[in-house]
């Protein structure tokens, strides 16, 4: 009788000075669903890469079916029966689902090697049998790219089962699914469990963990922070371990002195577009000289709210900036009215990564004096403005015409702030300002935000780091499923914030 | 490397490989590669008359290359410059023989303007469809090329067919509408000067105007452009319309300066050769100048070379074909990037 289907013992792995895994041990038995949760960057992905043979651990070992193994590469892990379903599906979109099912391991009717004939009848019979066993229906002749996402995901799972997978790793499998599809997936995963397959379920949605898993392990800063049977814990307890003391508070906390209301939002709603979260009837205000933090589990509508306020996403409801109605206006008009925007996606939206540092620094001001005289660009003025802006935030760079992508993450983000703050906006919408930024950069960016606030600016701040929100914010609003469920003072107990974040079963 | 290519040397590698392959072909058929290449060089650039003939052949390519580059740098995959060239050419020629000759010196500029307006209107349609309805511009502009061939083909064989000629041509334009020849008897005409002026204007537009900056940003990153307040829709439509203006002017200059009339088969694939030039030049003005002259030299040397040697014209086709392969590779590279972004 096997007791450990897949296990890790004291895994350590570092990338240069970054200690991604610092002695992690966990295991999953046959017929068990083990959830692994933690914030972005906690070390979940590194652990999974080790378990799949993609990375070699610095020390520690991996156990499969009660035997210690050493993986030379991903193929070894696959041969041991370890299969992973990634967030981004790996199906070939232009092949049929059946072709995808057998790709790489086709049943052969006649001949061998390059001359072999594929036995499509037997392939389809196998597919049907596997689908029946886990209780789903699949139209095998459909083009994979045209099939609904959850069907693609199911086929990927069936494909792994067909190849003899005994340990299934699911990497945030619900991120791309609608609620109804999530239920179907969970039913399917439970049936697979009954067949004796071991399942590692990676997620940061606590509601899903509570409803699906048998055990849960929380990883924080590369270490095991908590591990328990689901029956013996609660969502709040898990949430508190995910967020608790995630990072020591290093910079001093200094609160602002709020003045009159700058941003007033009344009854804002927005529809879902692909892979986004709808917003329901949101009302709040942000005052001058105040940083308002927006907390929530990732994917609960925070980013969508920021986009709606900046005019990048269509919404209904009233948005007023210092008494001026901006409802229905697009991004260009809202920017002109005094809303600055720091995108959560620095490389794809916050910057034009292939363009020069100079262009990225002056973008948005390129149509007004002194850079443009109405007809053409005054290159010397453009250069002067860029230099001024960059030196104000002490951005370190080589030359103005270098690609902005050549800068470090922290300096890239400073370029974004240099551009956004230079035009003295009344309101700054800031999302994930320190993602991918080193420690010194983080302190500098926090300083920039505080200075802006102290000069009378209003800031709405989204961050997945609760510490960051608590250090910077004067008030914290909590968002769950596209609604604001509560507002707390910045000194509120983190457990209280965590409790609000997982309200209504939390998650999607 | 990419910086180096952008400065206009994107042709060096394709050309070297093309010359090596043709050298092998020449050796195989028992000819001396060196003699042949030096003959080609002489035929292309060896005397003022030959140089004029090369520049004359390069003229339509300069127009179509600039027209293509305006769109490609904004990430708009316009392959319909050939259609704008035909439509602009026919419109200018029809104006050139049907407007009163008494307009005198004003006639030629007027005809050019009419050609550019028709070209602009022609490409405004796919631009609007792309910006407002997200209709794929590759498909729409490619289809519009066929429509342009069909419409101009019908008109030149029907309503505008010349009664004085046995061929499928329109009547000639008034003498006043003709663009002056710069070095008679060579066909080099003042349309070449217009093309150079447009190339300079393109260089200025890309580097020194807000709209030019916006075009580049939209080409690099549409989300960023939207975020900093640039209207992506307006930029796309503007790129298409400007491309139509330049393409239409190219056709008008070709009709008024080179042929003096519109004929069936008016464009010898100029839109597509121009696209290859823009692709290999990575949209850089200097690169497009070099590329257009290179293709012009091949075309003009190719026609005379077989008069003076045993080398078949196919040799020129081999060289052009190999350079084209590199253009297609570049096209594939861009389209993969484009799909990855979508």
CATH number assigned to the domain comprising residue A453: 3.40.50.300
Same domain (yes/no): A395, A493? no
- In this complex, do B209 and A341 lie within 8 Å of one another by their Cβ atoms? no
pLDDT of residue B336: 81
The Cα–Cα gap between B299 and B64 comes to 16
DSSP string, A91-141: --TTSBHHHHHHTTS--EEE--GGGPEE-HHHHHHHHHHHHHHTT----TT
First to last CA, chain A: 37
Give the lowest-confidence range in A19-28, A37-46, B128-137, B191-200: A37-46
Tens of pLDDT, residue by residue over B195-212, are 999 999 999 999 999 999
Residue A334 lies in a domain: yes
List b or e across A480-498, with b for residues whose CB sees 16 or more CB atoms inside 10 angstroms.
bbbbbebebebebebeebb
Residues B174-185: what's their mean pLDDT? 89
Same domain (yes/no): A332, A412? no
Three-class DSSP category at B193: helix
CB neighbours (10 Å) of residue B209? 17
**pLDDT bucket at B77, cuts 50 / 70 / 90:** very high
Same domain (yes/no): A39, A129? yes
The Cα–Cα gap between A245 and A225 comes to 11
Residue A430 lies in a domain: yes
**pLDDT bucket at A237, cuts 50 / 70 / 90:** confident
Residue A343 lies in a domain: no
Could you tell me the residue range of the domain that residue A38 belongs to? Answer: 6-243
- In this complex, do A377 and B231 lie within 8 Å of one another by their Cβ atoms? no
Where does a domain end: A369, A403, A424? A424
Residue A1 lies in a domain: no
Whether residue B8 has pLDDT greater than 60: no
Same domain (yes/no): A159, A77? yes
User: How far off is chain A from B109, nearest CA to CA, in Å?
Assistant: 24
- In this complex, do A349 and B214 lie within 8 Å of one another by their Cβ atoms? no
Q: Among candidates B11, A237, A220, which has minimal Cα distance to A228?
A: A237
Same domain (yes/no): A382, A311? no
Three-class DSSP category at B234: helix
Give the lowest-confidence range in A236-250, A446-460, B255-269: A236-250
CB neighbours (10 Å) of residue B104? 10
Instruction: Name the more confident of A147 and B246.
Output: B246
Where does a domain end: A210, A226, A243? A243
Give yes or no for B231 touching A (CB within 8 A).
yes
Domain boundaries along the sequence of chain B: 2-341
Residues A242-269: what's their mean pLDDT? 73
Whether residue B73 has pLDDT greater than 90: yes
Where does a domain end: A392, A424, A456? A424
The Cα–Cα gap between A59 and A268 comes to 52
Of chain B, the percentage scoring pLDDT greater than 70 comes to 96
Is there a contact between A144 and A102 (Cβ–Cβ < 8 Å)? no
Same domain (yes/no): A464, A409? no
- In this complex, do B221 and A310 lie within 8 Å of one another by their Cβ atoms? no
Whether residue A326 has pLDDT greater than 70: yes
Tens of pLDDT, residue by residue over A308-317, are 999 999 999 9
Out of A341, A353, A372, whose CB is closest to B227? A341
Q: What are phi and psi of B149, to 5 degrees?
A: -60, -45
CATH architecture of B2-341: Orthogonal Bundle (1.10)
Same domain (yes/no): A170, A288? no
Out of A349, A371, A379, whose CB is closest to B227? A349
User: How far off is chain B from A176, nearest CA to CA, in Å?
Assistant: 17
Is there a contact between B36 and B314 (Cβ–Cβ < 8 Å)? no
Same domain (yes/no): A412, A430? no
Same domain (yes/no): A131, A220? yes
pLDDT of residue A54: 85
* Residue B14 CB partners (closer than 8 Å, separation 6+): B280, B322, B323, B325, B326, B327
Whether residue A16 has pLDDT greater than 80: no
Show residues of chain A in contact with B216, CB under 8 Å. 355, 359
Dig out the tokens for A39 from the structure.
């914030």
Whether residue A508 has pLDDT greater than 70: no
Same domain (yes/no): A326, A368? no
pLDDT of residue A168: 92
Q: Which of B1, B200, B202, B210 to mutate to test the interface with A (most CBs of A within 10 A)?
A: B210
pLDDT of residue B342: 54
DSSP string, B293-310: HHHHHHHHHHHHHHHHSS
Whether residue A270 has pLDDT greater than 80: yes
The Cα–Cα gap between B149 and B167 comes to 17
**pLDDT bucket at B84, cuts 50 / 70 / 90:** very high
Out of A345, A359, A376, whose CB is closest to B209? A376
Q: How many domains does chain A have?
A: 3
Whether residue B114 has pLDDT greater than 50: yes
What 3 state SS string does A163-210 have? CCCCEEEEECCCCCCCHHHHHHHHHHHHHHHHCCCEEEEECCCHHHHH
Dihedral sign from CA coordinates of A94, A96, A100, A105: negative
Instruction: Name the more confident of B306 and A126.
Output: A126
Same domain (yes/no): A213, A199? yes
The Cα–Cα gap between A293 and A268 comes to 18
Whether residue A174 has pLDDT greater than 90: no
CB neighbours (10 Å) of residue A133? 13
Same domain (yes/no): A456, A477? yes
First to last CA, chain B: 26
């Amino acid at each position: 009788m096997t007791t450990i289907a897949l296990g890790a013992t004291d895994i350590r792995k570092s990338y240069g000075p970054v200690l991604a895994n610092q002695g992690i041990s966990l295991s999953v038995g046959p017929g068990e669903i083990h959830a692994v949760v933690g914030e972005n960057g906690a070390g979940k992905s590194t652990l999974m890469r080790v378990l799949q043979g993609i990375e070699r651990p610095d020390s520690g070992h991996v156990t499969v079916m009660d035997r210690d193994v050493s993986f030379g590469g991903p193929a070894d892990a696959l041969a041991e029966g370890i299969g992973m379903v990634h967030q981004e599906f790996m199906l070939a979109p232009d092949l049929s689902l059946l072709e995808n099912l057998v790709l790489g391991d086709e049943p052969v009717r006649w001949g061998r090697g390059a001359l072999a004939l594929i036995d499509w009848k037997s392939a389809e019979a196998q597919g049907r049998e596997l689908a029946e066993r886990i209780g789903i229906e699949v139209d095998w002749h459909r083009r994979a790219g045209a099939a609904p996402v959850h069907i693609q995901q199911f086929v990927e799972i069936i494909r792994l089962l067909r190849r003899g997978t005994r340990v299934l790793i699911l990497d945030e499998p619900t991120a791309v699914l609608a609620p109804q599809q999530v239920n179907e997936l969970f039913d399917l995963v439970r049936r697979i469990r009954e067949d004796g397959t071991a399942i590692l379920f990676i997620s940061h949605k606590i509601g899903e963990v509570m409803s699906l898993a048998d055990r849960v392990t929380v990883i924080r800063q590369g270490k095991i922070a908590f591990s328990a049977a689901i029956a013996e814990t609660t969502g709040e307890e898990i949430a508190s371990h995910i967020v608790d003391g995630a990072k020591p508070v290093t910079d001093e906390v200094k609160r602002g002195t709020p003045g009159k209301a700058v941003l007033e939002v009344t009854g804002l709603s927005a529809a879902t577009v692909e892979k986004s979260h709808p917003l329901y009837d949101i009302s709040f205000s942000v005052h001058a000289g105040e940083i308002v933090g927006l907390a929530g589990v990732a994917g609960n509508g925070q980013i969508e709210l920021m986009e709606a306020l900046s005019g990048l996403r269509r919404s209904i409801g009233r948005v007023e900036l210092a008494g001026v109605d901006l409802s229905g206006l697009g991004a260009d008009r809202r920017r002109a009215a005094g809303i600055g925007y720091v995108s959560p996606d620095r490389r794809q939206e916050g910057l034009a990564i292939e363009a020069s540092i100079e262009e990225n620094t002056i973008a948005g001001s390129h149509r007004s004096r002194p850079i443009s005289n109405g007809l053409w660009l005054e290159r010397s003025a453009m250069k002067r403005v860029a230099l001024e802006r960059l030196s104000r935030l002490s951005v370190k760079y080589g030359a103005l015409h270098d690609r902005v992508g050549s800068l470090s993450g922290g300096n890239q983000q400073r370029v974004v702030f240099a551009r956004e703050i230079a035009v003295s906006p009344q309101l700054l919408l800031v999302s994930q300002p320190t993602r991918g930024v080193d420690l010194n950069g983080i302190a500098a960016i926090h300083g920039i935000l505080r200075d802006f606030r102290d000069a009378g600016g209003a800031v709405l701040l989204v961050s997945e780091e609760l510490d960051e929100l608590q250090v910077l914010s004067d008030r914290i609003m909590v968002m769950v499923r596209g609604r604001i469920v509560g507002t707390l003072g910045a000194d509120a107990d983190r457990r209280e914030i965590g409790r609000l974040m997982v309200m209504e079963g939390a998650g999607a | 490397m990419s910086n180096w290519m952008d400065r206009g040397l994107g042709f060096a590698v394709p050309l070297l490989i093309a010359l090596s392959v043709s050298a092998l072909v020449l050796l195989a058929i028992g000819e001396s590669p060196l003699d042949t290449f030096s003959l080609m060089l002489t035929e292309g650039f060896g005397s003022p008359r030959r140089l004029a003939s090369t520049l004359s052949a390069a003229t339509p390519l300069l127009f179509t290359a600039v027209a293509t580059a305006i769109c490609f740098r904004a990430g708009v995959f316009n392959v319909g410059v050939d259609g704008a060239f035909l439509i602009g050419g026919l419109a200018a020629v029809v104006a050139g023989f049907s407007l009163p000759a008494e307009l005198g010196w004003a006639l030629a500029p007027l005809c050019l303007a009419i050609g550019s307006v028709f070209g602009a209107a022609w490409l405004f349609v796919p631009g609007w469809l792309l910006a407002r309805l997200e209709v794929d511009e590759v498909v729409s502009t490619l289809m519009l090329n066929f429509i342009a061939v069909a419409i101009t083909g019908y008109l030149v064989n029907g309503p505008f067919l010349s009664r004085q000629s046995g061929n499928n041509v329109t009547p000639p334009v008034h003498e006043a509408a003709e663009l002056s020849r710069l070095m008679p008897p060579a066909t080099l005409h003042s349309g070449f000067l217009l093309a150079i002026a447009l190339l300079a204007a393109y260089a200025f537009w890309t580097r020194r105007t807000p709209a030019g900056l916006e075009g580049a940003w939209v080409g690099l990153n549409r989300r960023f452009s939207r975020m900093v307040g640039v209207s992506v829709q307006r930029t796309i439509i503007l790129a298409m319309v400007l491309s139509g203006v330049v393409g239409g002017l190219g056709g008008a200059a070709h009709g008024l300066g080179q042929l003096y009339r519109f004929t069936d088969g008016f464009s010898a694939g100029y839109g597509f050769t121009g696209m290859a030039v823009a692709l290999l030049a990575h949209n850089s003005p200097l690169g497009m100048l070099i590329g257009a002259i290179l293709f012009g030299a091949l075309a003009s040397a190719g026609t005379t070379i077989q008069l003076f040697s045993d080398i078949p014209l196919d040799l020129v086709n081999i060289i052009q074909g190999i350079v084209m392969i590199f253009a297609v590779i570049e096209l594939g590279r861009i389209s993969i990037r484009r799909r990855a972004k979508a």
